[in-house]
Amino acid sequence: MPIAESRLSVVVPAYNEYETVPDFIAQCDRLIELMSSWTIEVIVVDDGSTDGGSDLLKMMGSDRPWLRVIRHAENRGYGRALRTGFAAARHQLVFYTDADNQFDLTEVAPLLPLREDTDLLAGFRVYRFDPLTRLVASFVYNRLVRLFFRVQVRDVDCSFKVIRREKLDRLVLMSDDFFIDTEIVARARKWNWQIREVGVRHYPRRAGRTTVRPSDVPRTLRTIWRMWRHIYFPNRGEHLRLSEEQEAARAELRGP
């Protein structure tokens, strides 16, 4: 049975996406219109962009009260931007995706409200419009993640996920980079969350550029190993520090 939730936070990291901003905001407008019976906030975390994207977002948000723009003074990484957005999210459900318009935001509408037996709704790309090198790297990466973390999600690094905020608030996340997608799924698997997968369309990137490179592979392997140890053999001191930082960020960004 579906749960009648009607409040949604949309969290979107952005870095040097000036060219994609107008189309992204247009997508948000369509989502707001389509889900007019819902209370929706869109939180864009500008991760230290240098192309004027943050200023454009703020200008376009001047007549859109549902749009919040949070800016990092310097580039701190995709994962850190997501963590900032999660800390700021106020509503019952949290949906996160990217600002590059490779997903259609409105595809989330028919998936909501979530079923009672779903804690994490994980999208998978039905067909990917990415360069061959990235497709191969993603294929290998997903296999490694399944091996290390025993997760069965077919597209672990797909940035199209919906999470119950009450569950998300219990996670102590540490990733500052794109590995945060994997960390969320791996921790959900450890805590026996109910995960449901759904296919979503993926579109070619028409502007901007990806920040993922083949040279990231060695660092990624080290991160997988480090995250495996952190999840299954946590350091109590580090866990406590991250938890305190997370609570402080929530108090600052959500307000009273």
Give domain 7-254's CATH number out of 3.90.550.10, 1.10.10.10, 3.40.50.620, 3.40.50.450: 3.90.550.10
Read off the pLDDT of residues 102-127 as tens digits, 9 standing for 90 and up: 999 999 999 988 877 899 999 999 88
- Using pLDDT thresholds of 50, 70 and 90, give the confidence band for residue 226: confident
Residue 211 has pLDDT above 60, yes or no: no
Q: Identify the residue whose tokens are 């091996």.
A: 147
Percent of the chain with pLDDT over 90: 60
Residue 148 tokens read as 């290390």
Read off the pLDDT of residues 4-30 as tens digits, 9 standing for 90 and up: 579 999 999 999 999 999 999 999 999
Read off the pLDDT of residues 49-99 as tens digits, 9 standing for 90 and up: 999 999 999 999 999 999 999 999 999 999 999 999 999 999 999 999 999
Residue 219 tokens read as 């660092």
- Using pLDDT thresholds of 50, 70 and 90, give the confidence band for residue 227: confident
Distance CA 252, CA 215 (A): 36
Per-domain residue ranges for the chain? Answer: 7-254
Greater confidence (44 vs 228) lies with 44
Phi then psi for residue 72, to 5 deg, are -80, 135
pTM (predicted TM-score)? 0.88
State which amino acid sits at residue 5: E
Read off the pLDDT of residues 146-187 as tens digits, 9 standing for 90 and up: 888 888 898 998 999 999 999 999 999 999 988 899 999 999
The burial of 196, by beta-carbon neighbours within 10 Å (0-12 exposed, 13-18 middle, 19 or more buried), is given as middle
**Hey, which residues does 14 pair with through a beta bridge?**
46
Residue 164 tokens read as 């119950």
